[in-house]
Amino acid sequence: MHTVLASIPSPDSGVVDVGPLPIHVYGLLLAIGVLVAAKIAETRWGRRGYVQKDFADLAIWVIVGGIVGARVYHVISDYQLFTDDWLKVFEIWEGGLSIWGVIGGGVIAVVLVTKIRHLDTLALMDCIAPGLLAAQAIGRWGNWFNQELFGGPTDLAWGLEISPENRPAGYENVDTFHPTFLYESLYCLFLLGVFLAVERRFRLRKGQGFALYLAMYTFGRFFFENLRVDPANEIGGIRINSFVSAIVCVFGVAWFVWLGRRGPEYPLGRAPADRRAGHPLDHSTEPETPVGTP
């Protein structure tokens, strides 16, 4: 056991009682994150000249696809956690929603729904990307309430206090750990600012915004993943999620470059960069006709 001068306390419980109703904070933060992401995406969809009602009609399918994908990925990658009681698969309020599953399930839903409804797939992905960062920044605080997914031991002033019953084997006598939930939350907020700045500074092509999100987020996630000490399946001594982070990061960079050369362009006046004050392509003073409107 070691002594530290300062630390971040952890909540004693991930459940808050509101009268007779127990509220699981992880689930509450997840719901808030989803609502924030949906609002950001819907607003961006409308500002790009698309019909906002179209987004409202398909949003529920994208959300469901993301949540189902998040749980499926977690169950597959950490199957040993459910072998004794498969009903735990449905207890999403206890944690266990993987961002890789969110992306995979959400992308599948976006592709299917936009193809069925004849909407712009890449444009919708661009609209969703910054909302994902905001949702992740909010949702990571659920890990704090659940005392899970923290990093290795640290004596730093912002070390996270973890209750003895929540410490992994081999760390029973360690009091404070790296607060990876906080690192990732702050990183996502930083990326959100970078993402919006890039969009306004450079005229990105369709899909490049989502590719940029993939590349930037997975770059940081690779390092956060390697800080963690919670039990996880590994390949050659490396956590599976670290492999996934590296692969998706490389893919995101390659896709961003490819789209920059061959991807479809937004109509003039529709990309965020076109709306900067004084920009030669700024059409913000002109009335807009939503795409798809006769």
Cβ pair 150, 228 in contact under 8 A = yes
Q: How high does pLDDT run on average in the chain?
A: 85
The residues, any chain, with a CB within 8 Å of residue 159's CB and separated by 6 or more, are: 4, 6, 7, 8, 175, 176, 177, 178, 179
Choose the weakest-confidence range: 104-118, 182-196, 279-293: 279-293
CA distance 57 to 65: 14
* Burial of residue 200, with CB atoms counted within 10 A of its CB: 0-12 exposed, 13-18 middle, 19 or more buried: middle
Q: In the prediction, which pLDDT does 292 show?
A: 39
Cβ pair 215, 195 in contact under 8 A = no
Tell me what percent of the residues of the chain surpass a pLDDT of 90: 52
Q: In the prediction, which pLDDT does 75 show?
A: 73
Q: Write down the domain spans for the chain.
A: 23-275
Q: In the prediction, which pLDDT does 66 show?
A: 81
Per residue in 134-186, pLDDT (tens digit) is 999 999 999 999 998 899 999 999 999 999 999 998 999 999 999 999 999 99
- Say whether pLDDT at 294 is over 60: no
DSSP assignment, residue 264? P
What stretch of H or E contains 25? Answer: helix 25-47
